[in-house]
A = this chain, B = another copy of it.
Amino acid sequence: MENYDVVIIGGGPSGIIAGITGLQQNKGKDFLMIKEEEKGLVPCGIPYIFHDLEDTSKNAMGPKGFVNLGGKVIIDKVVDVKIDEKIVITESGKQFNYKRLIFATGSTPTIPKFIKGYDLDGVYYIKKSYDYIENLRQKTVNAKNIVVIGGGFIGVEFAEQLAKFEDKKVSLIEMEKYCLSKAFSEDIAIVADKEIRDANVKLYTESKVQEIIGEDGKVKGVRLADGKIIDADLVIASIGYKPNSELAKKIGLEINSQGAIRIDNYLRSSRPNIFAIGDCSQKVGFITGRTDNIMLASTATSEARILGYNLCEIRVKRNFTGTISIFSTEINGTAFASAGAIEKSAEDSGIEYVVGQFADVDRHPGTLPGTSKLFVKLIVSPGDGSVIGGAMYGGKSVGELINLLGLIIQKNVTVYDLISLQVGTHPLLTTAPTKTVLIKAAENAIAKINK
């Protein structure tokens, strides 16, 4: 039996980063990664395989960085763990001894078994599997009528990408009043939905799928609850993911109500020397400390990095322990992003808030070529002026501007602090110094607090 200091189950972003950071921070230790498939994918890049990247191989991701540092990788499946003996057992019958075990087992798409026809030929779910996605990509090539079910980020991105092919008719079905409603309130969701429609996607909101219709076992359409039938030769369903926690459950690790492995602030499970990171592990909201079900590669890799430093003992104190879930996407050339609380999540959590907002353009003067509109909204605690969330849309600068907002939240920066924030500005790169959007939105919030 081979002995390892650290065994990592899973080779997605969190497994890779835990491996890399762990090896860098714990010199001389032996690391083994056990992953189920040879090839991996950049998870958030999957929708872009279908148009912008043109090729699945361009979105490949593997543990090369981990291997270069001396990590060992085997392709196999862990089927059991003997906790007392510190042994993992694989499907092929191999056994490995560990000192520290990391669950980085990820998540799998929710299969809506309650919908008739969910398993017809031509119905796909967005599994994070290279071969499965490559097969789906090939199927899309000749598909004419594609129905995407679920207007979350992945569903919207799939629909937007596939609708770039002029020969395809792409429909998107969303139960809620707007797409992306987990990340955006109505005012911004309306703008996003308009971009989805302008991207040539036929969007059905407030619509429920009643049945996926088939003929000879093959999909031919989707019937909505209102009776409408949408023709389809391919259905792509993206209605959510659930944590891969069966093995963890089986060996007796505590699992929370969302099916995720329960952990503490240092990614430690309920049993000593066993850790869990990424989609399979519990997330907690940063204000309330209540469990959440956010699944983001950025959150997963952040956890993995913290674990890499703290594998043997806690060496780097974590100053901010909740998950703020920073979302970003681009639809039809407009970027949308949110971080932390939005109106609805604040209300659901019983948090008082004021909204500070400001609209401008992302270059100055706005007469410069390539200028986009830029809208920013802050969610602010009136008690102490803390910024607890926000959302925005605009040009590509939104991709990093949301990270500035993310740091504001994480470092407990208040709207009063933002008044004296120093920023850099440039005509071709940012808003004017006279109208820095985050500062103007902070001033708007202060005015409301003082009212």
On A, residues with C-beta under 8 Å from B are 13, 16-17, 21, 24, 42, 44-45, 48, 52-53, 58-61, 296-302, 305-306, 309, 316-320, 323-324, 326-330, 335, 337, 339, 364-365, 367-369, 396-404, 406-408, 410-411, 413, 416-417, 419-430, 432-434, 436, 439, 443, 447
Contacts and interface: CB of A to CB of B under 8 A. Distances in A.
A402 B423 CA distance: 8
A318 B400 contact: no
Contacts of A327: 424
A429 B368 contact: no
Contacts of A299: 422
Quickly give the copy total for this chain. 2
Contacts of A432: 42
11 contacts: A44-B433, A297-B425, A297-B434, A299-B422, A301-B433, A302-B420, A302-B422, A306-B419, A329-B426, A399-B430, A410-B422
A327 B365 CA distance: 18
Could you say which of A330, A368, A400, A417 has the most chain B C-beta atoms within 10 Å of its C-beta? A400
Could you say which of A320, A399, A443 has the most chain B C-beta atoms within 10 Å of its C-beta? A399
A450 to B, nearest CB: 9
A42 B45 CA distance: 39
Contacts of A421: 302, 406-407, 410
Given A297-B434, A328-B429, A329-B428, 15 more contacts: A44-B433, A48-B428, A52-B368, A59-B365, A298-B422, A298-B436, A330-B426, A330-B429, A335-B428, A397-B400, A399-B430, A402-B424, A406-B421, A406-B422, A411-B411
Contacts of A305: 419-420, 439, 443
A426 B302 CA distance: 15
A382 to B, nearest CB: 16
A61 to B, nearest CB: 8
Contacts of A404: 400, 403-404, 407
Nearest to A403: B423
B300 A433 contact: yes
Contacts of A406: 421-424
A424 B42 contact: no
A439 B309 CA distance: 13
A433 B369 contact: no
Given A337-B424, A365-B45, A407 B400 contact: no
Could you say which of A13, A53, A407, A413 has the most chain B C-beta atoms within 10 Å of its C-beta? A407
Contacts of A13: 433-434
A123 B324 CA distance: 55
A399 B397 contact: yes
B324 A419 contact: no
A24 B448 CA distance: 12
Contacts of A402: 424
Given A400-B397, A434-B17, A420 B306 contact: yes
